[in-house]
Amino acid sequence: MIIVDFKDIRSKKDFYDLLNESFDFEYEANNLDGLFDLLSIEDERIVIKNYGKIYESLGDYGERVISCFMKASLTFDLDIDFLKFS
């Protein structure tokens, strides 16, 4: 299981740094297309904590982040849980 906690996200850089530390990706994700591609090969359960923080910190981009995870979940049948609070 991979746990990603968005509680300390304040910028896009923080977001991508956290992702690249949390996941054992072949290469670093630095945009949403890259994240989506990398999620296509992920097979572990993913738990995203404090997902509401991404909206506060990144606004519209935060919405796109959550949409990317949701689309990947549906497209690749990933087990992703979104927890509002940790």
Sheet holding 2-5, edge to edge: 2-5, 46-49, 80-83
Confidence label for 7 from pLDDT (cuts 50, 70 and 90): very high
The DSSP result for the chain, as a single string, is: -EEEEGGG--SHHHHHHHHHHHS--SS---SHHHHHHHHTT--S-EEEESTHHHHHHHTHHHHHHHHHHHHHHHHHT--EEEES--
The enclosing domain of 11 has a CATH number of 3.30.370.10
Q: Which amino acid is at 66?
A: I
Look at residue 86 in the predicted model and tell me its pLDDT.
64
**Domain interval for residue 13:** 2-83
Segment 44-77, tens digit of pLDDT: 999 999 999 999 999 999 999 999 999 999 999 9
Look at residue 74 in the predicted model and tell me its pLDDT.
97
Measured distance CA(81)–CA(79) in Å, rounded: 7
Segment 74-85, tens digit of pLDDT: 999 999 999 987
